[in-house]
Each structure stands twice: as structure tokens, then as C-alpha cells.
């Protein structure tokens, strides 16, 4: 099948025609193309953007299919412009053996989206005994993480980093010292008056320092998940300057929300690490623009209704967000002038693709993995706009600008997402 995308704006800039045939981009031209037997897609005023790449998706498979399945997470991701996902292994059972990995791989066959799988660092995510890293890498594990828990034992983490260096695989750390993060709220003047239990910012900073130092010693690639505190970013910057192979990510909710603009007792804002103060949010945005923070990752964490709609002390932490992340950041960062569109596309598409060894760029010869985006649509997010099985999305009821119109993924055209 041939598809001719007419008059789209490449990454919001130059007007081009894109010809897709046999799943590949066969022509990219600033001149008007005429092709016989092609389905013409009128993309006047639409942006063609390389498929987004999420390095931090909780698909909840196996064992928690009441929250999400690979089919439902695929639909949610495509609606948000994502063409590639790296799913987390904190499942039931965890992805800590070649057998569980092979089972999850078997479920990804035939999906409309590209799915990569991470395995745990330790068996059972208990922080005590390393998994068979070599066998899991050979079986297709793209990265290793005990996400949801920090590997507290220094000796275990050093061994993990050493093995990861030898096998040339990435370690992803959920960096929070548990002794200093027993609550759910940020520690600042806005939350002190509510008498909340806290997850102190220094719990992240100290954990980040230790893991960066171990990565520096071992030479492994350490990726710090969901950085939420500018003090942690400063530590990462110091180690980057020293030549350590450190990268990190920030979530959309830590870039948009702060304790100045959220409802403190709304369970849909409860996440680990917590949303912090406004000054900190601005510093995270600046660090992302300057490249100290490498990528945006959603930390898409679906939970069932009964698991979120309870007291803030009992609610499960996490935010659902694949469908809304790009539009939310376009609305809240690009339009007000905090960030330009080129940077947003870089940190949500080009840079995470490079970290995962993917070439998803819109160029001749590549498989078609891109989406068409209307930057002018205004829409209020409704529950039925969320295709995840879970609806714990803090943008429900809020107006966003810009929306994904259609997607090419794995070379196939998906007209309606």
C-alpha cells in the first residue's frame, strides 16, 4: 500500500510531502509529489513528528491485567503519538528470569506498537541477589531496573553496575533512600501546614550520588529514572562533567505541576517521587532545555479505580499519562515560551530513541514511525479520551492545545487513534 502525506510541516518547520510504500519512507520532498495508486493524506497545517519513545512505561503484564494490558497500553500510547515503549519489570511475577521474559515477549507479537522489555536487577526485586543478566540480555532484555524500589545494598548495586558494564547494558535506578521517603508529599512550606508525611528531596539526592559514584567506578551506563529534585540534577551534572556515563529522565507531571498548582489531597497527584515546589519545577525545565536532563519519560503508572480513589495515605502512587503527555507539555511549556518545539521533540523522540538504539527519524529508507499533529486544536480531556484501562490521569477535565491526528507505526497507517 502506498500513502502520500501532502503538505505536512516536518517537525513543525519545512513543508514536505512524504511517500510511504511497503511500510518504509521512500521519498521525502519539499517539492509536490504526484504518485499513482497512492492514498493521499491531506496534511495541510499538520506537523509530521517522529514517533515518541517512552523509556518508562508500566504495562502491568504479567499479573496485574486489571490495571493494564499490552493491548490497552498500545492503544493509549498510539493516541499520544508514541511508537516505541520500554516497559518496566515490577510485575507479578517480576520479569527476573528468562522464562518470564520469554512469556512477556510472546505477548508483544502482533501488537501495533514497538515494545521493548526491561528486566529486574535483582531476583524478586528484593535487592539481595542479582539476576542472570547475561542470559536475560541474550533473551532480549533492553535494560535492567528494580523500578519502584532502590537497590539499597551498595555491594549488590556495585556488582550490578560491574556486570552491566561488561554486558554493555543500561541500569535504570529508582533513586530514593527508603529511610527518608516513607510518606507521599514533598517537604515544603505549602505541604507542611497540612501535616502530611513526606518524601524528602534529599532522599533522592543521596541515592543519586551513590548510584552515580558506583557507575563511575564500574564504567556502566546508569540512567536515573524520574528525577524530581534540582539537587539531584546538580549531582548528575557533576558526574557528567567527570566523564561518567550517566543519563536521566523527567516526567511530564514534574514539569507541569508543582505544589503551588495542585490539590494536595487529590490522589491523582500522588506519585513517587512526589510533585515538588514551583521553584524546583522551573529549575527542572531549565535543566531539560540545557541538556542536563536528557529525556522526558512518562512513568505511565495505571491503577484501578479502587486503588486510587481512596485516602492519600492509602492510594497507590502513580500517574497515567501516555495519551496526554505531548499535548500537555506543548500546552504548558511550548506555548507559554518556557521551551521551544524543537527541544520538546528532541527530548521526547530523538534523544530517547538514541538511548535505546532506535532510528525513528523521518528520512528516506526508514520504517515509517511518525505521527501527524494538529497544533491548533483545543480540547478538554475526557475520561473516554483515555484508552488505558485505568483513568488516573490528572489532565482529565483540563483544556489542552494540540492533538495527535493519525500515526504511522511499524510501517502501518493508523488513521484514527
Question: Any idea which residues carry the catalytic annotation?
Answer: 299
Selection from 212, 193, 324, 321 nearest residue 259 by Cα: 193
Beta strands in 35-81 (DSSP E): 38-42, 47-50, 52-57
Is omega for the bond preceding 273 within 30 degrees of 0, making it cis? yes
Question: Of 409, 413, 412, nearest to 81 (Cα)?
Answer: 409
What residues contact residue 167 under an 8 Å CB cut-off, 6+ apart?
A: 133, 134, 137
What value does the CA radius of gyration of the chain take, rounded to a whole number of Å?
A: 21
- Please tell me the distance from the alpha carbon of residue 57 to that of residue 180, in angstroms, as a whole number: 25
Give start and end residues of each alpha helix (H) in 183-315.
189-192, 201-218, 230-241, 252-256, 278-290, 305-308
Count of C-beta atoms within a 10 Å radius of residue 112? 16
Amino acid at each position: 500500500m502506498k500513502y502520500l502525506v501532502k503538505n505536512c510541516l516536518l517537525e513543525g518547520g519545512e513543508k514536505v510531502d512524504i511517500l510511504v510504500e511497503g511500510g518504509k519512507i521512500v521519498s521525502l520532498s519539499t517539492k509536490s509529489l504526484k504518485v499513482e495508486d497512492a492514498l493521499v493524506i491531506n496534511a495541510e497545517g499538520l506537523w509530521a513528528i517522529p514517533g515518541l519513545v517512552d523509556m518508562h512505561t508500566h504495562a502491568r503484564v504479567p499479573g496485574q491485567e486489571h490495571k493494564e494490558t499490552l493491548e490497552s497500553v498500545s492503544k493509549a500510547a498510539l493516541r499520544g503519538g508514541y511508537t516505541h515503549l520500554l516497559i518496566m519489570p515490577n510485575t507479578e511475577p517480576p520479569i527476573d528470569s528468562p522464562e518470564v521474559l520469554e512469556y512477556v515477549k510472546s505477548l508483544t507479537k502482533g501488537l501495533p506498537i514497538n515494545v521493548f522489555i526491561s528486566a529486574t536487577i535483582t531476583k524478586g526485586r528484593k535487592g539481595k541477589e542479582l539476576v542472570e543478566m547475561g542470559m536475560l540480555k541474550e533473551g532480549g532484555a533492553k535494560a535492567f531496573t528494580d523500578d519502584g524500589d532502590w537497590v539499597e545494598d551498595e555491594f549488590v548495586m556495585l556488582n550490578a553496575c560491574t556486570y552491566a558494564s561488561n554486558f554493555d547494558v543500561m541500569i535504570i535506578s529508582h533513586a530514593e533512600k527508603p529511610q527518608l521517603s516513607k510518606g507521599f508529599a514533598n517537604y515544603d512550606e505549602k505541604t507542611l501546614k497540612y501535616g502530611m508525611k513526606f518524601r524528602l528531596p534529599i532522599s533522592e539526592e543521596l541515592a543519586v550520588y551513590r548510584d552515580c559514584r558506583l557507575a563511575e567506578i564500574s564504567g556502566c551506563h546508569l540512567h536515573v529514572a524520574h528525577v524530581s529534585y534540582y539537587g539531584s540534577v546538580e549531582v548528575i551534572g557533576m558526574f557528567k562533567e567527570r566523564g561518567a556515563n550517566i543519563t536521566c529522565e523527567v516526567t511530564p507531571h514534574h514539569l507541569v505541576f508543582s505544589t503551588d498548582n495542585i490539590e494536595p489531597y487529590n490522589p491523582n497527584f500522588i506519585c513517587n517521587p512526589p510533585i515538588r515546589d514551583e521553584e524546583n519545577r522551573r529549575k527542572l525545565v531549565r535543566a531539560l532545555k540545557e541538556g542536563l536532563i536528557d529525556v522526558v519519560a512518562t512513568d505511565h503508572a495505571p491503577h484501578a479505580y479502587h486503588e486510587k480513589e481512596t485516602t492519600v495515605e492509602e492510594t497507590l502512587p502513580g500517574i497515567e499519562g501516555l495519551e496526554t503527555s505531548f499535548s500537555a507539555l506543548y500546552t504548558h511549556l511550548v506555548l507559554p515560551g518556557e521551551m521551544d518545539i524543537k527541544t520538546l521533540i528532541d527530548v521526547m523522540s530523538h534523544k530517547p530513541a538514541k538511548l535505546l538504539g532506535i532510528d525513528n527519524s523521518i528520512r528516506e529508507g526508514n520504517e515509517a514511525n511518525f505521527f501527524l499533529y494538529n497544533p491548533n486544536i483545543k480540547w478538554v480531556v475526557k475520561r473516554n479520551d483515555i484508552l488505558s484501562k485505568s483513568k488516573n490521569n490528572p489532565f482529565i477535565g483540563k483544556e489542552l492545545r494540540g492533538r495527535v491526528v493519525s500515526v504511522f507505526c511499524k510501517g502501518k497507517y493508523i488513521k484514527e487513534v
